[in-house]
């Protein structure tokens, strides 16, 4: 029996009955050098959803008169989603591993970054409070740690052969796969590019560690796919040799695309974060110059009544009367704190010091010298 599998989009197999006279076993022929199906996927649901999102955004952008670059970035994100789900990339992704990888990366990284960069606080003003309430209610699920976990798990779990093959053979599983990639990418990049300051904000080198840890874990998957000695997906073993690519070669190209894309996106994101950090630093300096902070008013030196010997040079401050006075003044002793001691008609300037032998604070002052030592 000579078996020829049609493009994956039909999910049917055309078979011609033919048996060899000696073995009486089916004879399968692999076609080499044929071209894949590159038709457009004009799904009404996808098109209507993208048009609705675009219409809402354009309306909000026009109302708030935001910067034109925001509109350009958001529309570029919509075009990227359309390229992944409507253009021939979607149909080719069902026949070639590396095109399926391109589709995943468009949804996971490129589209998510462009769409988030197209947003601003003014555009999101009607839903800002809802976003903050959802973030507060989500708890750990709204933290960067969960975003990293979800991103890495989604990338690895959907490349398990059983799930990967199931997504190509079952339209509903394929839809779930796309939703998982889009959600993981949106949540992950939201912590980097969000126009609304999240409760768990990445500060300083936190953003660098956030991205580096994720890209390393995902990069290992790309390296494994690139240098695997054979194809690990049975689905592609039954496909014709499109463009004369073997399943192993197709898989290696897909792994290389994943690794290269991770490096480029991470480098671009690092550059963007560095520029943003410099910009925020300059703005902080400008604010400091325009609105200098007033110097804090000097705090009065606390006055404590304590018996002291002018010639001794120190007196304990841990006695009950001293502690009661300090508590009434709202004063907490610390090393080097200036105080004034009053004893009857005498007054002396002193400094609080911790005395380990005494086991508490003492007030130290310069002792008076004897008449014989005075000049």
Distance (Å) of CA 352 to CA 51, 129, 178, 293, 299: 71, 50, 67, 30, 16
Lowest mean pLDDT among 14-23, 34-43, 229-238, 312-321: 14-23
pLDDT at 19: 40
285 and 308 co-located in one domain? no
78 and 190 co-located in one domain? yes
57 and 161 co-located in one domain? yes
Name the band, by pLDDT with cuts 50, 70 and 90, for residue 292: low
80-107 pLDDT, tens digit per residue, is 999 999 999 999 988 899 999 999 999 9
For the chain, strand residue ranges (E) read 2-5, 13-16, 303-305, 314-316, 338-343, 346-355, 360-364
219-262 pLDDT, tens digit per residue, is 899 999 999 888 899 888 887 888 888 899 999 999 999 999 98
The verdict on residue 200 lying in a domain is yes
pLDDT at 9: 39
188 and 278 co-located in one domain? yes
How many angstroms separate the CA atoms of 169 and 163, rounded?
A: 10
pLDDT at 370: 44
Quote the domain boundaries for residue 353: 303-364
How many angstroms separate the CA atoms of 177 and 190, rounded?
A: 20
124 Cβ neighbours under 8 A, 6+ residues apart: 131, 195, 196
* DSSP 8-state assignment for residue 142: G
Of the residues 263, 289, 315, the one at which a domain ends: 289
pLDDT at 298: 65
pLDDT at 293: 63
169 and 251 co-located in one domain? yes
204 Cβ neighbours under 8 A, 6+ residues apart: none
Does position 35 have pLDDT exceeding 80, yes or no? Answer: no
Q: Tell me the chain's radius of gyration from C-alpha atoms.
A: 35
Residue 103 CB neighbours (<10 A): 22
174 and 239 co-located in one domain? yes
How many angstroms separate the CA atoms of 57 and 88, rounded?
A: 26
Lowest mean pLDDT among 31-35, 229-233, 281-285: 31-35
Q: How far from each other are the two terminal CA atoms of the chain, in whole angstroms? A: 122
């Amino acid at each position: 029996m000579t078996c020829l599998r049609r493009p994956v989009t039909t999910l049917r197999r055309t078979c011609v009955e033919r048996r060899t006279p000696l073995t009486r076993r089916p004879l399968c022929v692999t076609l080499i050098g044929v071209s894949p199906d590159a038709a457009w996927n004009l799904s009404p649901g996808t098109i209507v959803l993208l048009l609705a999102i675009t219409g809402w955004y354009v309306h909000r952008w026009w109302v708030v008169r935001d910067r034109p670059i925001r509109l350009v970035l958001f529309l570029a994100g919509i075009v990227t989603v359309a390229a992944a789900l409507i253009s021939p990339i979607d149909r080719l992704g069902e026949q070639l591993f590396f095109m399926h990888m391109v589709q995943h990366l468009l949804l996971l990284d490129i589209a998510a970054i462009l769409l988030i960069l197209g947003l601003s606080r003014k555009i999101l003003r009607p839903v800002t409070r809802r976003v903050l309430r959802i973030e507060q209610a989500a708890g750990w699920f709204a933290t960067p740690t969960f975003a990293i976990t979800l991103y890495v798990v989604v990338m690895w779990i959907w490349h398990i052969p059983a799930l990967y093959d199931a997504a190509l053979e079952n339209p509903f599983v394929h839809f779930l796969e796309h939703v998982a990639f889009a959600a993981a990418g949106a949540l992950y990049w939201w912590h980097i590019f969000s126009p609304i300051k999240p409760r768990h904000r990445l500060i300083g080198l936190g953003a660098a560690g956030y991205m580096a840890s994720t890209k390393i874990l995902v990069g290992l998957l790309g390296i494994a796919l690139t240098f695997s000695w054979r194809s690990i997906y049975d689905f592609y073993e039954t496909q014709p040799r499109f463009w004369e690519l073997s399943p192993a070669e197709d898989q290696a190209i897909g792994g290389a695309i994943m690794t290269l894309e991770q490096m480029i996106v991470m480098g671009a994101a690092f550059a963007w974060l560095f520029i943003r950090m410099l910009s925020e630093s300059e703005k902080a300096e400008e604010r400091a110059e325009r609105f200098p902070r007033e110097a804090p008013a000097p705090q009065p030196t606390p006055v404590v009544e304590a018996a002291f010997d002018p010639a001794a040079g120190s007196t304990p401050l841990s006695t009950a009367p001293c502690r009661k006075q300090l508590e009434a003044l709202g004063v907490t002793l610390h090393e080097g704190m200036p105080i004034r001691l009053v004893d009857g008609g005498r007054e002396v300037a002193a400094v609080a010091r911790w005395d380990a032998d005494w086991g508490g604070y003492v007030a130290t002052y310069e002792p008076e010298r004897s008449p014989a030592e005075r000049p």
